[in-house]
Every structure is written in C-alpha cells, then in structure tokens.
Amino acid sequence: MLKATNPEKKIKRLKLLVYGPAGVGKTTACLQFPCAYIIDTERGTENYAETINKAKSVVLKTLNPDEIKEELHALLTEKHPYKSLIIDPITQVYNATQEKWNRVFEKYSKNEKEAEVMDFGMRYWGKVKGDFKGLQRLMLALDMNVIVTSHQKDVYGTGFSKIGVTFDSMRGDDYFFDLVFQVERKGNDLIAHTIKERAEIGKQKFPPEFIWSYDNFKKFYGAEIIEKDSIPVEMATKEQVEKIKKLTETIKIGDDIIDKWFTKADVSEWEEMSNETIQKCINACEKKVAELNNKSEKKKGEK
C-alpha cells in the first residue's frame, strides 16, 4: 500500500541566517526583535544593555557548543516569555565545535606527528558536522523566531579572483534556514538583500531588497507569526528511551529501519525525539511483538 499523503500547509516560525561585513550593524539589527533570548558568542552586546533591557531581552555570553545545546533544549521544552532566539554570530560556534573535537582527537591521536598536523581525516569531520547539525536541529525545532548572524567571507574563483561573498560557517549552513539575507549599509539604512527564501512558487514574502527593520519583518512575514508566544515541546522521556531501546533489541529491529526513523524525525538519537514521535516508534515495535506472539501461539496450537 502506498504511504504518501497530501501535504498540509503549516505555519512556520521565522528561521533566518544573515551575513555581512564586520561593523555593518548585524548585532544592532537583530536586537530590534523584542523578547529575545540572545546567545552572544563574541561579546557583541556589551554596549547595548539599555536597548536589550528595554526590549525585555536577555543575554547569555558563551561559545561553548555543549552549553548552547543545553540552553536550546531548555528553550524547546520549558515555558518561557521569549519569542526569538538570536545567535550572534554562529561563526564562532562552528569554530568552537572544531576546537572541541580537535582537543578530543589530539588526546587520542596515534602519534605526536598526527596531533601536530591535526590530520584526523573524515572521522574527525564527521564528528564536527554531526555535533554542529545537532545544534542546528534544535534551532529548527524551536517554536521561536530564530535569527542567526554570520561573519562574511570572500569567494574566489579561477586564478584566485574574487567572485563574490558568502557566510562564514559550515558549508551548507544556508540549507537549514528558510531565509538567508546579506546586509550592507547605505547611508543611515541597513539594506537586506534576499539571497534565499524557501516558499511556494510565486508566493515569496520578502522583496529582493528592503530596509532591515522589525516593522518590515512584521509586515512581510506576518506580525501574528513573529509575535506568537512559544509553546514548549514535550520531548522523549527517559522511560520511553529505555523502552524503545529494549524493544528494538528484543525484536531485532535493523539499523537500517532505525536510521529511517531517525531521518524522518530529523534526529540522530532517541533522546532528540519528541514524546509523540518516539511513542509512535514504541507502538510500531509493540505491534510487531504482538504479531510475533500471535504467530508463536498459532504454532503451539498446531502442535
């Protein structure tokens, strides 16, 4: 039986990546969003205490990827007054993720030379990307606006000639966001150029170029979405995680099936699943157990 269904239209929170040259005003632009939970990774908010307090926003100064993950998990699962998450900039978080795994691989490197050149190969990059993508998945799962800034870097073509600029973070970072903007300063205005907008064909919300302002974001994206209160997500419980692990071992669910479940849920481990999603997996396993028990009883009856 075919499993495809008609897609349902969903109201999606604002999820954007913005990049531009140093000093252009990315931090102050993001601070226009009120009731924000700001993760400041390079002390860019230190001169804006009055603005932040007036906006009823708060700041956490850190670039520790593990601490950031803990905060995002709390924002995802707990009731709070914040409508937007701001990470300024994500560049430093990606760099810190690399440094974290550098330390791990240096500690367990086969020899001193390998540690010195940090030639750890694909396994190292797999750990870095997996760790960073886990953070990205939490950002996308949040019932909040997510505004992430990035440093800007030059792009070079043949003969080392500059052919443009782009964000300075993990390759493919733009894929995770529905919106990507490049900003530049024109007089007193910060101009946003729409680099990417994931939307129905012909139904884009943002013009190719506009003045960056909170009012314009409400105008183009919808104030009812941007100013919506955050609703906590009930995540998988410890009991559910223990139960699904035991069930998959008992009935020998293959890694290929588990990987499909993880891919569909966009997670890398059971603990990252929502309560509802992991329960569906448990139900599927329990159904399989019941079928196996029925078959076993029938065989006994035939004897």
Cα 169 to its chain centre, rounded Å, is 13
Question: Do 220 and 249 fall within a single domain?
Answer: no
Return the half-sphere exposure (C-beta side, CA atoms, 13 A cut-off) of residue 8.
2
**Burial profile 193-209: b = 16 or more Cβ within 10 angstroms, e = fewer:** ebbebeeeeeeeebeee
Which DSSP letter does residue 178 get? S
Angle between the 90-107 and 65-77 helix axes, to the nearest 10 degrees? 120
DSSP character string of 195-260: EEE--STT--SS-SEEE--HHHHIIIIIHHHHTPPP----BPPHHHHHHHHHHHHHTT--HHHHHH
Cα 23 to its chain centre, rounded Å, is 25
Residue 45, both tokens: 């908010």
Q: Report d(CA 34, CA 201) in Å as an integer.
A: 31
Q: Which has the closest alpha carbon to 61: 87, 80, 84?
A: 87
Domain finish residue from 226, 247, 273: 226
In order along its 303 residues, the chain shows pLDDT tens digits of 677 777 777 778 999 999 999 999 999 999 999 999 999 999 989 999 999 999 999 999 999 999 999 999 999 999 999 999 999 999 899 999 988 988 888 777 665 555 554 556 778 888 888 888 888 889 988 999 999 999 999 888 888 888 888 888 877 778 889 999 999 999 999 999 999 999 888 889 999 999 999 999 999 999 999 999 999 989 899 999 999 999 999 988 888 899 999 888 888 889 889 899 999 999 999 999 998 888 877 777 766
**Cβ–Cβ < 8 Å for 54, 214:** no
**Cβ–Cβ < 8 Å for 90, 27:** no
Q: Which has the closest alpha carbon to 233: 145, 141, 146?
A: 141
Domain finish residue from 175, 204, 226: 226
Task: Write down the pLDDT at residue 111.
Answer: 58
**87 has which bridge partners?**
39, 148
Show the beta-strand stretches assigned E in 31-159: 36-40, 58-61, 84-88, 145-150, 152-156
Question: Do 77 and 51 fall within a single domain?
Answer: yes
Q: Which amino acid is at 216?
A: N
Question: Do 197 and 57 fall within a single domain?
Answer: yes
**Angle, alpha carbons 13-269-258 (nearest 5°):** 110
The Cα diameter of the chain in Å comes to 89
Question: Do 263 and 127 fall within a single domain?
Answer: no
Question: Do 116 and 212 fall within a single domain?
Answer: yes
**Angle, alpha carbons 67-71-72 (nearest 5°):** 115
Domain finish residue from 202, 226, 250: 226
Question: What are the residues whose beta carbons fall under 8 Å from the beta carbon of 98, sequence distance 6 or more?
Answer: 128
Q: Report d(CA 87, CA 150) in Å as an integer.
A: 9
Question: Do 54 and 88 fall within a single domain?
Answer: yes
Q: Report d(CA 247, CA 36) in Å as an integer.
A: 41
Question: Do 127 and 262 fall within a single domain?
Answer: no
Specify the number of domains making up the chain: 2
**What pTM was computed for the model?**
0.82
Domain enclosing residue 186, as ranges: 15-226
Q: What number of other Cβ atoms are within 10 A of residue 179's Cβ?
A: 24
**Angle, alpha carbons 202-205-208 (nearest 5°):** 85
Inside any domain, residue 9 = no
Question: Do 110 and 182 fall within a single domain?
Answer: yes
